Chains A and B, each alone.
Chain A
Amino acid sequence: MTETIQVGAEVPDFTLNTYEPQTGDFGSVSLSDLKSAGKWTILFFYPADFTFV
């Protein structure tokens, strides 16, 4: 059982496959890349595609 990440704690690195509407292509995004770019990351979970956001 994985521990839930608490607010204030460090988020372990992750990589996700993506669909990127900007280019109309597939790609991937990782937290480590965003961190080295000095960016904030906002994860916006929703139940499933074809449901309302």
Chain B
Amino acid sequence: MGAELITVSCDTHFTHLAWHTVEKELADVKFKMGSDKTGDLARQFGVYLGDDGLALRGTFVIAPDGRLLFSEVNFLNVGRNVDELMRKFKAALYVAKKDEGIPPTWNEEGDLTLKPSAKMVGKVHEALSNDGNPT
């Protein structure tokens, strides 16, 4: 879908190779593994833990025009859920094409969206229960 997912940690690409070779859980994982050895990139995204030389579990989605469209940061011991990531990513793709609002109930294209208008103000509840039309 025109996206490149890059996994990034503050290890070298040599360590990436070693880990990818040894850890069987990664056998089917084909994403490019980026090395942010200096922590510079992690620092720019606010996920660098300088004392430990580790990066927090941060996910950052950058649009083709270079703008950061959403971010999610979890503390070290909370793993991420790919379904959550995909929902937000699909939402970002959708609103890049259409100027509509994505309600929390949205999961994929075809689901109800909201079209911002003066009529919508104060009527989101009505719109959500009436096929997107404020009444």
Query: What mask results when residues 1 to 30 of chain A are scored 1 for a CB within 8 Å of chain B, else 0?
Result: 011111111111010111111100011010
| Contact residues in B for A42 (Cβ distance below 8 Å) | 3-6, 59-62, 85, 89
Chain B residues numbered 117-131 whose CB sits less than 8 Å from any CB in chain A = none
CB-CB nearest in chain B for A38: B64
CA distance A26 to B53 in the complex (A): 23
Cβ of B133 within 8 Å of any chain A Cβ, yes or no, is no
CB–CB A19/B16 < 8 A: yes
CB–CB A45/B32 < 8 A: no
A-B contacts at CB below 8 angstroms, number:
174
Cβ of B8 within 8 Å of any chain A Cβ, yes or no, is yes
Contact pick for A5, options B11, B18, B29, B68, CB 8 Å: B68
| Contact residues in B for A38 (Cβ distance below 8 Å) | 2, 64
Cβ of B67 within 8 Å of any chain A Cβ, yes or no, is yes
CA distance A44 to B6 in the complex (A): 6
How many residues on the B side are at the interface (Cβ–Cβ under 8 A)?
Answer: 66
CA distance A29 to B8 in the complex (A): 11
CB–CB A18/B70 < 8 A: no
Contact pick for A16, options B34, B44, B57, CB 8 Å: B34
Chain A interface bracket (under 10, 10 to 19, 20 to 34, 35 or more) = 35 or more
Could you list 6 further interchain pairs (A-B, Cβ under 8 angstroms) beyond the known A45-B59, A50-B19?
A4-B46, A17-B12, A40-B1, A45-B55, A46-B57, A47-B76
What are 23 pairs between A and B in contact, CB < 8 Å? Answer: A4-B46, A11-B62, A16-B34, A16-B35, A17-B13, A26-B13, A31-B66, A41-B3, A42-B5, A42-B6, A43-B59, A44-B5, A44-B6, A45-B8, A45-B55, A47-B9, A47-B54, A47-B57, A48-B10, A48-B11, A50-B23, A52-B79, A53-B7
